[in-house]
Amino acid sequence: MCTVAAGAFLTAAAARSDQPLSDTVGTIDGALIAISGPMSVEVVHGLTKTILRSGSDVRVKSGSARIDLVEGGQITICGPAHFSVLKSGNSLTVALDTGTIHVYIEREPALTIYTPQIQAQTVAIGDGPQDALFGFDTEGAMCMRANQGAVRIEQQLTGQSVLIPQGGDVLFLNGQLDTMRNSAGHCSCEAQVARAIPPQLEISQLATAEEMRKNAPAVKPNLPPAPVEKPAVKEEPVYQFFMPPLIYDASAKVQPEVDPRMIALVRRVRVRPTLIFQGRVEGETVAAVTSPSAPAPGGATAQKPSASAPASDSIVDRVRHFVRKLWSSGS
């Protein structure tokens, strides 16, 4: 960075040595501008400044640009505009082709505006500043406004001249003074005044208890992290292909093909029942209903019959009972 700045400074110094300082118009600043002719570039405090000199041709493609004159004044250009500057001593001439310029001069230089048909000069009142506007509208008519000081206008072909007083706002059609009429703000181009912003002095003070309480960050309780829901695993069938090993024979012209019948396809799935029942089935309990028994004669209460004997005996019991009867009858 230092090498580039030093190179730019040496270039600017060489340009200043070749050209006299008396032909310097001022620095120009703009977003979309094109400059041709005598000019130079300087680096001041890390900023690149373009210096206009006598004979420079400037074209403002769009937007606006500002020229800071070496004498202290300013010229604001509202594009699209095209003009050239010529300087000789304390006289500055601006040859305006298209566009609008707003001129503010404190005392020097003496300004002259040239157009294809009209020549205009700013005239100071006493030692006051000169503030004037010159330009062309969309239809090609020329407008002039004398905000501070007066403007002397002269027709280059006929030599007619007229003095526009301070506060005058006029419009010319076809560059003829006979067609002069009041314009009432027909052209506009606000001056761009570069105002230096004074540095602000700040004094540090201790924060009060209330300010510390307001600026304190809010304390959030330690909450357990929210459980992350795992996506459900989607079960899908798995397919596997089992193939015989591939054989390559370098001596064979045609390689043997794989027998498709040797290829096995295995599909792995999880079989689920079509009906899944969960629960318990219980039958209904049947309540036994008993009717009351009738009283026996004589006031005696009938007793419940005893439990019935077994329905049938076994064959061994029957044989044993038959043998006992035989022995008892024979005795």
Which residue's entry shows tokens 């001056």? 191
Contacts of 179 (CB under 8 A, 6+ apart): 172, 173
pLDDT the model gives residue 219:
57
Here the contacts of 28-32 (C-beta below 8 Å, separation 24 or greater) are 28/52, 28/58, 28/65, 28/66, 28/67, 28/68, 29/65, 29/66, 29/68, 30/60, 30/63, 30/64, 30/65, 30/66, 30/77, 31/62, 31/63, 31/65, 32/60, 32/61, 32/62, 32/63, 32/79
Contacts of 260 (CB under 8 A, 6+ apart): none
pLDDT the model gives residue 331:
54
Number of domains in the chain: 1
In a domain, 330, yes or no: no
pLDDT the model gives residue 11:
40
**Inter-residue contact 37 to 84 (CB < 8 Å):** yes
pLDDT the model gives residue 247:
81
In this prediction the pTM is 0.51
User: Dihedral (C-alpha) 315, 319, 324, 325: value to the nearest 10 degrees?
Assistant: 100
Assigned token pair, 214: 């307001």
pLDDT the model gives residue 259:
84
How does pLDDT run across 179-188, given as a tens digit for each residue? 787 877 677 8
In a domain, 240, yes or no: no
Query: Domain limits at 133?
Result: 26-38+53-182
Q: Using DSSP, state whether 248 is helix, strand or coil.
A: coil
In a domain, 323, yes or no: no
In a domain, 327, yes or no: no
CATH number for the domain spanning 130: value is 2.60.120.1440
Cis peptide preceding 109, ω within 30 of 0:
yes
Considering only CA atoms, which of 56, 8, 61 is closest in space to residue 28?
A: 56
In a domain, 12, yes or no: no
Which residue's entry shows tokens 């829901």? 229
Per-residue pLDDT of the chain (331 residues; tens, 9 = 90+): 333 333 333 344 344 444 456 789 999 988 889 999 888 888 877 778 889 999 999 999 988 899 999 988 899 999 889 999 999 888 999 999 888 999 999 888 899 998 888 889 999 988 889 999 888 876 778 888 889 999 998 888 888 888 888 888 888 887 777 778 787 767 788 765 444 334 343 444 556 677 777 776 665 566 666 666 777 666 678 888 888 887 888 888 888 888 888 888 888 877 766 666 677 767 676 565 555 554 555 544 445 544 444 545 577 787 778 777 777 765 5
**Inter-residue contact 291 to 297 (CB < 8 Å):** no
In a domain, 15, yes or no: no
In a domain, 331, yes or no: no
In a domain, 176, yes or no: yes
